[in-house]
Amino acid sequence: MTDLQRRLLAEFVGTAALVTVVVGSGIAAQQLTDDVALQLLANSTTTVFGLGVLILVFGPVSGAHFNPVVSLADWLLGRRHRTGLDLVEVCSYPIAQIAGGVCGAVLANLMFDLDAWQISDRDRITTGHLIGEIVATAGLIAVIFALARSGRAALSAAAVASYIGAAYWFTSSTSFANPAVTIGRVFSDTFAGIAPASAPGFLVAQLLGGALGLTLIVVLYPRSTAAAAGNAVVPHPTEPAAPNTSDPTTH
């Protein structure tokens, strides 16, 4: 398996697991209580812990983007210094992420004995929700690339997960902030779902939010270069490390 194939597999599995966490915890919360506030609390808390773990597990392999907006931002920031994802990677990452998002929703449905293939009828398209998505995505991009450009990307697991957990509550949209997750959640007609008619507006808002977050980072960190080789979320090697011949465990 090539290095790119390993990274795409990590993005696929990681995004699938993320959507499974989001949708599955939403289904469980909906089954356990009728209190919407408690449902959202359960959903957001589980997402915080799940996302943090997934970043730690898959970050060393692919950078743990799990998000087409993050991958696109990494590519854009790296053009000047020839760092970040290349053109092939920035086209491949979103495909793996979106496919993973859809599979993650189907898996969550199956785990709770629901129909595997569902289409949500949960309408979320309001002006407030769209503004919320712009804010949520702009903040997410700002957090990720502020850490990457200031040499603190190792803190991303805690920082990104904490931001998403907070944004569940301070944004009206409950912070999807991710096109792959948004598309995946279309395929579960449950607490965490989103109707197909609402998804395009969310996707546009996320792209706008990503552009705003990226602009803020360029202004705030004008002399810093983007993290190399897709290290936007977690630093990782793009090629397997050479064996350490001084380590007896390698012989």
**Spans of all domains in the chain:** 3-222
- The conformation of residue 240, written as its DSSP 8-state character, comes to P
pLDDT at 84: 81
pLDDT at 224: 63
Selection from 74, 69, 123, 109 nearest residue 227 by Cα: 74
pLDDT at 83: 76
Selection from 202, 203, 190 nearest residue 23 by Cα: 190
pLDDT at 243: 43
Distance CA 27, CA 31 (A): 6
pLDDT at 245: 39
- What is 3-222's CATH number, 3.40.30.10, 1.20.1080.10, 3.40.50.620, 3.40.50.720? 1.20.1080.10
pLDDT at 158: 97
Distance CA 185, CA 226 (A): 31
Distance CA 88, CA 207 (A): 20
pTM: 0.89
| Residues with pLDDT less than 70, the chain | 224-232, 234-251
pLDDT at 184: 98
Task: Please give the structure tokens belonging to residue 23.
Answer: 């949708």
Question: 14 near 57, Cβ under 8 Å?
Answer: yes
